[in-house]
């Protein structure tokens, strides 16, 4: 990819004049609102866009953001991190995972701590990097600790596809893939008194565009149709988010509740059917997946189909993996933040006992986490 193409990815989407124009349009629409509108950005990527580019400072007070549960690192419960830690400490194992995952503390420590104790833990840019590691280390067992939403799931499936087709014998999987719509439903259906109180009611969702590039916008159709909650699928550049907010407020003022796509440059209603069939081939839903702070959410996680159990590290190492339930840190309110009824500053240890360099909770660990965003970029208003 040339640098010119890279530049094209963001250049127009951070244009100050366009951002200021949307600011004016939003201000006009927001004046017509009868009350404060609570918009949940489901994905941590949007939280970061909002904080990094200071977008809240450009918006009227009657537009309120609620940070949602959409960060693959933040939502990982300690039980699963302990699995990763235990696997990493096994003899002849190289544990691979994505980026920030290596920093999240489990009950014995993080994968970073495991590495400091001698475990071979590596981060990869793409699951496909596992192929090279496996080739260079034929006597080792390479375990890919797979995390992420719909966005990263196809790549795990694609890796398994290659592993099977090439007959590679030393790559295994620990699957922690989760799905977005189920947790959004949980936020509404749980009838949590806080979430559904007037102040914290979710009036609209900003849907993460990268999820819909794979799964299509169709996965959100239930929210306007069944719950009367508008969804706008939006990109992650500041112009994208500003336009999505404008589209949402227009829906309110026009009395509409619809599924709209702001990120038309890549998202379609159907999504990437090839990726979807690959996921379908190798993965199936688990009845319950535990989310940090939210507990067990029905149908929200994936596992390898039984036919592929020979590649499933969770099956192969079930004798050594710990299965006890673990409570979160008493002072940490990541759960409340992920459910959208607390903001990072509401936490008594935010920025003091809990900082990116010494995190107590996952929302501070992940670069996609709400606490990390608030800590890093500061809330100057």
Q: Which residues bind another protein (CB under 8 A)?
A: 1-4, 6-7, 9-10, 14, 16, 19-20, 23, 45, 51-55, 57-58, 72-73, 98-103, 112-113, 115-117, 123, 125, 147-149, 151-152, 210, 238, 355-358, 366-368, 375-378, 380
Any idea how long the chain is?
Answer: 381
CB atoms under 10 Å from CB of 32, counted, come to: 11
- In the complex, least distance from residue 21 CB atom to another protein, rounded to whole angstroms: 10
Closer to another protein at the Cβ: 285 or 355? 355
- In the complex, least distance from residue 310 CB atom to another protein, rounded to whole angstroms: 27
Closer to another protein at the Cβ: 132 or 194? 132
- In the complex, least distance from residue 119 CB atom to another protein, rounded to whole angstroms: 12
Q: What 3 state SS string does the chain have?
A: CCHHHHHHHHHHHHCHHHHHHHHHHHHHHHHCCCCCEEEEEEEHHHHHHHHHCCHHHHCCCCEEEEEEEECCCCCCCHHHHHHHHHHHCCCCEEEEEEHHHHHCCCCCCCHHHHHHCCCEEEEECCCCHHHHHHHHCCCCEEEEEEEECCCCHHHHHHHHHHHHHHCCCCEEEEEEEECHHHHHHHHHHCCCCCCCCHHHCCCEEEEEHHHHHHHCHHHHCHHHHHCCCCEEEECCCHHHHHHHHHHHHHHHHCCCCCEEECCCCCCCCCCCHHHHHHHHHHEEEEEEEEECCCEEEEEEEEEECHHHHHHEHHHHCCCCCCCCCCCCCCCCCHHHHHCCCCCHHHCCCECCCEECCECCCHHHHCCCCHHHHHHHHCCCC
- In the complex, least distance from residue 138 CB atom to another protein, rounded to whole angstroms: 19
CA separation for the pair 279, 258 (Å, rounded) = 28
Closer to another protein at the Cβ: 113 or 268? 113
- In the complex, least distance from residue 359 CB atom to another protein, rounded to whole angstroms: 9
Closer to another protein at the Cβ: 39 or 114? 114
CB atoms under 10 Å from CB of 138, counted, come to: 10
- In the complex, least distance from residue 28 CB atom to another protein, rounded to whole angstroms: 17
Closer to another protein at the Cβ: 143 or 229? 143
- In the complex, least distance from residue 379 CB atom to another protein, rounded to whole angstroms: 9
Closer to another protein at the Cβ: 205 or 308? 205
Closer to another protein at the Cβ: 209 or 262? 209
- In the complex, least distance from residue 351 CB atom to another protein, rounded to whole angstroms: 11
Closer to another protein at the Cβ: 109 or 322? 109
């Amino acid at each position: 990819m040339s640098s010119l193409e890279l530049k094209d990815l963001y250049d127009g989407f951070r244009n100050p004049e366009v951002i200021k124009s949307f600011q004016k349009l939003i201000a006009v629409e927001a004046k017509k609102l009868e009350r404060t509108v609570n918009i949940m950005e489901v994905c941590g990527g949007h939280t970061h866009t909002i904080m990094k580019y200071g977008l809240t400072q450009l918006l009227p007070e009657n537009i309120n953001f609620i940070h949602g549960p959409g960060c693959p690192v933040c939502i990982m419960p300690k039980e699963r991190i302990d699995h990763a830690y235990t696997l990493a400490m096994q003899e002849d194992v190289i544990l691979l995972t994505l980026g920030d995952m290596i920093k999240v503390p489990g009950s014995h420590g993080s994968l970073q701590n495991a590495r400091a104790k001698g475990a071979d833990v590596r981060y990869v840019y793409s699951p496909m990097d596992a192929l090279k590691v496996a080739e260079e280390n034929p006597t080792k067992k390479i375990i890919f600790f797979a995390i992420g939403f719909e966005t990263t799931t196809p790549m795990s499936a694609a890796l398994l596809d290659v592993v099977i087709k090439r007959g590679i014998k030393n790559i295994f999987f620990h699957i922690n893939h989760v799905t977005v719509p189920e947790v959004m439903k949980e936020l509404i259906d749980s009838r949590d008194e806080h979430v559904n109180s007037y102040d914290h009611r979710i009036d609209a969702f900003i849907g993460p565009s990268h999820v819909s590039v794979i799964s299509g916008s169709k996965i959100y159709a239930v929210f306007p149709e069944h719950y009367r909650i508008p969804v706008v699928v939006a990109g992650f550049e500041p112009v994208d988010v500003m336009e999505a907010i404008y589209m949402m407020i227009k829906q309110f003022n026009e009395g509409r509740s619809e599924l709209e796509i702001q990120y038309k440059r890549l998202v379609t209603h159907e999504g990437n059917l090839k990726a979807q069939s690959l996921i379908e081939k190798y993965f199936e839903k688990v009845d319950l997946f535990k989310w940090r702070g939210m507990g067990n959410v029905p149908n929200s996680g994936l596992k390898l189909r039984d036919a592929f159990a020979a590649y499933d590290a969770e099956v192969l190492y079930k004798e050594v993996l710990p299965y006890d339930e673990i409570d979160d840190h008493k002072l940490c309110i990541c759960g409340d933040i992920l459910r959208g009824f607390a903001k990072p500053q509401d936490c008594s240890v935010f920025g003091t006992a809990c900082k990116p360099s010494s995190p107590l909770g996952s929302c501070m660990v992940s670069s996609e986490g709400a606490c990390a965003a608030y800590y890093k970029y500061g809330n100057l208003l």
